[in-house]
Amino acid sequence: MSAIKPVLVVAGVRAGGTGAATAAAFARKGYSLALISRGSEDLKALEEELKAAGNEATAFPVSSYSASSISAIFQSIHTRYPSPDYTIRAALYNASHSIRKPFLETSLADFRAAQETIVEGSFTFSQEVIRAFKENDVDSVTGKRGMLIFTGSTTSIRGNTTTSAAAPAKWGMRALSQSLAKEFGAWNIHVAHAIIDGVINTPFSRSRFSDRSNWVENEDIRLNAEDIAKAYVYLAEQPRSAWTWELDLRPALEKW
C-alpha cells in the first residue's frame, strides 16, 4: 500500500521570501513541492536546497503569469506529480507586481501588467487548483479537500497616492478570493486571503529599502517570511468548523 503524497503548488517564489519559506514549511509537514516563478535562478537554487533537505521539489519557470502560461505549467505539474500517487492539496498565489507611480505617470501598460500578474494570473491559477481539489477526498482531520491561499497587502484594502495600478489589481484578487471562498466552501475547499501589512525581511527588500535605517535589525518593525509561513500552515490545518477567510499580519510596531 502506498500513501498518496500531498503536493503544495506555490506561484511567486524569490530567494528568502514568503513563497520560499512557505514551501519549506509545508515540506516539513510532508508535502511535495511545485514551485512556479519568473526568476529562474532563485527557483533552481530553492529546488536544490529543498531536495538537499530530503524533499521532493520541482521548479516550473514561467516567463509571465498570463492565463496561457499558467495553464501550460499546470500540464507539466500534473505530469510530474501524477494521480493517484500524488494529489494537489494546497496552493499559494504569492505572485505580485510592485509598482508605485503618480497616477498621471502610470501608463496603460503599467496598469495591464499589474492586472495580468495579479488578477489574470490568480484567476487561472485558481481554476487549475480548484479543478484538482475537486478530485480529492475530504481529509478526515481538517475536513477539507484543499487549501488555497492568496497573499495580499495593504493595497488590497486601501488605495494610496501612488497605487492606481497596484490597488485595483490587489482589490480584484481579494474579491476573487472571497467569491471562491463562498462558492467552494460547499465543496469543503478552504480559500483564504492574507493581508501582509509591512516590510518583509528578505534579500529583495533589503536591497530595495537599503536607504531605510535600522529596519533589518529591529525585530519590532518588520515581518519574517518564516513567520508568515507559520500562519499559512496554521490556515491549512484549521478544521472545517472554524475556517478563516481573511487574516492580517503586521509587525508589532507597524503604524496602521
Ligand X SMILES: *[C@@H]1O[C@H](CO)[C@@H](O)[C@H](O)[C@H]1NC(C)=O
Q: In the block, which residue shows the cell 499580519?
A: 249
**Total residues binding ligand X (CB under 6 A):** 18
Q: Does position 58 bind ligand X by CB under 6 A?
A: no
Nearest approach, Cβ of residue 104 and ligand X (Å): 16
Instruction: Please give the grid coordinates belonging to residue 143.
Output: 475536513
Nearest approach, Cβ of residue 178 and ligand X (Å): 18
Q: Which one among 87, 126, 153, 156 touches ligand X, defined by CB under 6 A?
A: 153
Q: Does position 172 bind ligand X by CB under 6 A?
A: no
Counting other chains too, the contacts that 203-212 makes at CB distance below 8 Å and 24 or more residues apart are 203/14, 203/15, 203/16, 204/14, 204/15, 204/16, 204/17
Asked whether 46 and 19 are in contact (CB, 8 A), the reply is: no
Q: Does position 18 bind ligand X by CB under 6 A?
A: yes
Cβ-based nearer residue to ligand X, 32 or 96: 96
Q: Does position 179 bind ligand X by CB under 6 A?
A: no
Report which of 243, 116, 117 is spatially closest to residue 180, judged by C-alpha positions: 243
Q: Does position 198 bind ligand X by CB under 6 A?
A: no
Dihedral angle of Cα 7, 12, 14, 18, to the nearest 10 degrees:
-70
15-23, 62-70, 77-85, 229-237 -> range binding ligand X (CB under 6 A): 15-23
59-67, 118-126, 146-154, 212-220 -> range binding ligand X (CB under 6 A): 146-154
Q: Does position 154 bind ligand X by CB under 6 A?
A: yes
Q: Which one among 160, 175, 218, 252 touches ligand X, defined by CB under 6 A?
A: 160
Q: Which helix (H) or strand (E) holds 189?
A: strand 189-196
In this structure, what are the phi and psi dihedrals at residue 32, rounded to the nearest 5 degrees?
-85, 160
Residue 138 DSSP one-character state: P
Nearest approach, Cβ of residue 64 and ligand X (Å): 13
Cβ-based nearer residue to ligand X, 7 or 195: 195
Report which of 237, 227, 164 is spatially closest to residue 198, judged by C-alpha positions: 227
Instruction: Please give the grid coordinates belonging to residue 196.
Output: 501582509
Q: Which one among 55, 58, 87, 96 touches ligand X, defined by CB under 6 A?
A: 96
Report DSSP letters for 54-78, one per residue. T--EEEEE-S---HHHHHHHHHHHH
Nearest approach, Cβ of residue 237 and ligand X (Å): 21
Cβ-based nearer residue to ligand X, 86 or 173: 173
Q: Which one among 6, 10, 19, 193 touches ligand X, defined by CB under 6 A?
A: 19
Site of interaction with ligand X (CB under 6 A)? 12-14, 17-19, 94-96, 151, 153-154, 158, 160-162, 196, 200
